[in-house]
């Protein structure tokens, strides 16, 4: 993997260099520098592009997963806050204490 990452970085550096030279108006043989027509070089470029695409897809999937988790957590927090507000509006006796539950008749049930 490390070797492949180095190759990918080298290819991207070469591509940046070629693009910069073209932007500067230099006369550049792009096909020669990028290896057009050479089966081995073209395959290396194809591998680099596939790796970049898969890496991008993995990063996007991870980002979406984190967004869903954040939304779910935010929903839980909002629901808990809503429940606390509702209990507070019912009055101080409405919130059961530890070891107690409110029963239908309003009297606490003590657990042992």
Decide which of 58 and 46 is more confident: 46
pLDDT tens readout for residues 9-48: 888 899 899 999 999 999 988 888 888 888 888 888 888 8
- What does the alpha-carbon distance between residue 31 and residue 18 come to, in Å, rounded to a whole number? 10
Q: Which domain holds residue 38?
A: 2-83
**Structural domain contains residue 9:** yes
pLDDT tens readout for residues 25-36: 999 888 888 888
Contact 26, 18 (CB under 8 A): no
Q: How many domains does the chain fold into?
A: 1
Share of the chain above pLDDT 90, in %: 23
**Structural domain contains residue 101:** no
Confidence of residue 100 (pLDDT cuts 50, 70, 90): very low
């Amino acid at each position: 993997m490390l070797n492949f990452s180095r190759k990918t970085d080298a290819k991207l550096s070469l591509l940046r260099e070629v693009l910069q030279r073209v932007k500067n108006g230099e006369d550049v043989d792009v096909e020669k520098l990028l290896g057009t027509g050479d089966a081995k070089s073209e395959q290396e470029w194809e591998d680099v592009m596939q790796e970049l695409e898969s890496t991008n897809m993995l990063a996007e999937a991870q980002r979406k997963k984190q967004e869903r988790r954040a939304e779910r957590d935010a929903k839980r927090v909002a629901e808990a806050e809503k429940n606390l507000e509702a209990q507070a509006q019912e009055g101080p006796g409405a919130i059961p204490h530890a070891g107690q539950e409110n029963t239908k008749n309003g009297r606490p049930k003590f657990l042992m």
